[in-house]
Amino acid sequence: MVGSVGNGLLDLGGREKVEPLPKEFDPEEIVDSLLHSESNIVGKEEDGTSRKIVLGRNVHTMCLEVKEPEADDEITGEREAYMAGVLARYRRSLIDRTKHHLGYPYNLDFDYGALIHLQHFSINNLGDPFIESNYGVHSRQFEVGVLDWFARLWELEKNEYWGYITNCGTEGNLHGILVGREVFPNGILYASKESHYSVFKAARMYRMECVKVATLVSGEIDCTDFRAKLVQNKEKPAIININIGTTVKGAVDDLDLVIQTLEENGFKDRFYIHCDGALFGLMMPFIKRAPKVTFKKPIGSVSVSGHKFVGCPVPCRRQITRLEHINALSSNVEYLASRDATIMGSRNGHAPIFLWYTLNRKGYQGFQKEVQKCLRNAHYLKNRLKEAGIGSMLNELSSTVVFERPKDEDFIRQWQLACEGNIAHVVVMPNVTIEKLDYFLRELLEKRSHWYQEGTISPPCLAAEIGEANCLCFSHKN
């Protein structure tokens, strides 16, 4: 295990270090290779600006090796004891990691105890949710119930929508963009530069022309730039990815302005809009003043994650599109006795049951309350940060608080903050309480007082990232 060094060098372009194992893991007991020294893994460039990670090496820092059973294992019980020990320690580390978690938009506040007796079934929703396959151990009846609920939320009739519950968020975007490409095979994909990376991955996978559009300071798509790019490509239809909450700043693209820009520039009936509603797709419908995402507007598809706002122990996403688009994409597969318009054939059948359970339990009203709580707590965090002299920003319709990137990587990892350049963010989800935010703030302020002691370095200027008005660096604070 020890000493295998990968042959691929890859520039990660950032300041990442490899995360050390949680303390609960006893290195000697589990794998001897845990005893690596960090300097073997993270190398500094000569100029100190970027680091490289040696592939194949950090593999072995975190591997729980599979070992062959000994001949006498059944008698001694050693194997069972070893595995039980590993799992118990892992569980403790999960508890700790779940507690210290602010950076990713996952609602970790759920209780699926009532579903525990279903966990050991091999539930698989093969192929199209709306057409039966012969495989009987499925959960389509829950899946369709969940999809109906979302179609109603986005105002598309039951007989006019098609959708499915995907295996993850990326799959939702891959599907929406693929539908767009099948509707307009020579269309150009437009996406703001703050779109999720899966959008650009899709363009590459699907061999589509892709045009990146500039953003405003808020993170929203810049429709002036969008117009300029459209005008340069008038001959080809447009496929547009709209962000209902960008990954980093939680910015909501102005759907109405995008549609207006398209129509004013000769693209009427020659565009397809996919709405990436990763997190806010489910929060916005509950905010009265929010612009409406609805199929009454000329959009083609919406997807929203299940493991984010709803909270679900497995990644998944609800993908809803217009039924009329699906025939462009589907092909017949007799083997499954099922049409196949999904990207992945086998789909985790547990996810729809988790979602069905939560939707039934909370209902529209329950979600509305949670959304309000999140927005309130996000404002609390932003205000406290400003009071403390820390540059920060909170978009009006968002619960993602963007602020100065903490100077210490251990602190970032401890709180599992997602960072980009000089900024970090906290996504205030239903499980993030005022108490947790206070705990975080106390730690941050205490550490920060050491990072920026008088006479040494100053906090970075964030004007480029969050605007002068939100920046509290030395030059902007007055």
Q: Which stretch binds a second copy (CB under 8 A): 249-257, 287-295, 334-342, 383-391?
A: 334-342
- Taking CB under 8 A as the criterion, the residue among 27, 29, 44, 56 binding a second copy is 56
User: String of b and e for 333-359 (b: at least 16 CB within 10 Å)?
Assistant: eeebebbbbbbbbebbbbbbbbbbbbb
Which residues, 131 to 150, sit near a second copy by CB under 8 A? 131-132, 134-137, 139-142, 144-146, 148-149
- Among residues 301, 300, 294, the alpha carbon closest in space to that of 318 is found at 301
Q: Does 318 bind a second copy (CB under 8 A)?
A: no
Nearer to a second copy (CB atom), residue 21 or residue 287: 21
- Burial group, residue 452, by CB count within 10 angstroms (0-12, 13-18, 19+): middle
CA-wise closest residue to 94 among 22, 199, 176, 172: 22
Measured distance CA(478)–CA(312) in Å, rounded? 44
Q: Which of 186, 260, 332, 383 binds a second copy (CB under 8 A)?
A: 332
The answer to whether 417 touches 429, Cβ cutoff 8 Å, is no
Q: How far is the CB of 275 from a second copy (least distance, A)?
A: 18
Q: Could you give phi then psi for residue 250, rounded to 5 degrees?
A: 65, 25
**Which of 160/264 has CB closer to a second copy?**
160
Does 345 participate in binding a second copy (rule CB under 8 A)? yes
Q: How far is the CB of 444 from a second copy (least distance, A)?
A: 16
**Is 469 strand, coil or helix?**
coil
Q: Is 35 in the site for a second copy (CB under 8 A)?
A: no
Report in angstroms the alpha-carbon separations of 67 from 31, 82, 85, 183, 205: 11, 11, 14, 51, 37
List residues with catalytic annotation. Answer: 398
CB of 64 closer than 8 Å to CB of 31: yes
Minimum distance of a second copy from residue 477's CB (angstroms): 27
Q: Please list every residue from 154 through 173 that binds a second copy, using CB under 8 A.
A: 157-160, 162, 167-171
Compare residues 261 and 414 and give the one whose CB is closer to a second copy: 414
**Site for a second copy contains 347 (CB under 8 A):** yes
- Are 395 and 249 in contact by the 8 Å Cβ rule? The answer is yes
Sites for a second copy among residues 3-22 (CB under 8 A)? 4-8, 10-14, 16, 18-19, 21-22
Instruction: Give the total of residues touching a second copy (CB under 8 A).
Output: 145
Region 96-125 residues binding a second copy, contact defined as CB under 8 A:
97-98, 100-101, 103-104, 106, 108, 110-124
Q: At what angle do helices 223-232 and 255-264 cross, to 10 degrees?
A: 30
Piece of 251-259, 361-369, 375-383, 442-450 that binds a second copy (CB under 8 A)? 361-369
H helical segments located in 113-254: 140-153, 169-183, 197-206, 223-232
Report the Cα–Cα distance between both ends of the chain, in Å, rounded. Answer: 56
Q: How far apart are CA 352 and CA 345, in angstroms?
A: 15
State the Cα–Cα distance between residues 132 and 433, nearest whole angstrom.
43
Q: 366, 389, 460, 467: which one contacts a second copy (CB under 8 A)?
A: 366
Q: Pick the stretch among 64-72, 249-257, 399-407, 453-461 that binds a second copy (CB under 8 A).
A: 64-72
* 176 near a second copy (CB under 8 A): no
Residue closer to a second copy by CB (options 312, 381) is 312
Check binding of 356 to a second copy (CB under 8 A). yes
Distance CA 358, CA 426 (A): 24
Applying CB under 8 A, the span of 2-10, 234-242, 284-292, 294-302 interacting with a second copy comes to: 2-10
Q: 430-469: which residues touch a second copy (CB under 8 A)? A: none
> Count of H helices and E strands in the chain?
13, 16
247 forms part of the interface with a second copy (CB under 8 A):
yes
> 201 to 220, contacts with a second copy by CB under 8 A?
201, 204-207
Rg (CA), the chain: 24
Q: Which of 160, 124, 129 is nearest to 340 (CA)?
A: 129
We find the least distance from the C-beta atom of residue 19 to a second copy, in angstroms, to be 4
Q: Tell me the per-residue interface mask from 402 to 431 with a second copy, x by CB under 8 A, - otherwise.
A: ----------xx--xxxxxx----------
- Tell which positions 253-312 bind a second copy, by CB under 8 A: 307, 311-312
Shortest Cβ 110–a second copy spacing (Å) = 7
Residue 90 in contact with a second copy, rule: CB under 8 A: yes
Shortest Å, Cβ 352 to a second copy: 9
Q: How far is the CB of 452 from a second copy (least distance, A)?
A: 22
Residue 174 tokens, joined: 């891959």
72 binds a second copy (CB under 8 A): no
Q: Can residue 475 be called a binding residue for a second copy (CB under 8 A)? A: no
Q: CB–CB of 164/377 below 8 Å?
A: no
Shortest distance (Å) from residue 40 CB to a second copy: 13
Per CB under 8 A, contacts with a second copy among 216-245 are none
Question: What sign does the dihedral 197-201-203-204 (CA atoms) show?
Answer: positive
β 317-322/271-276 pair status: unpaired
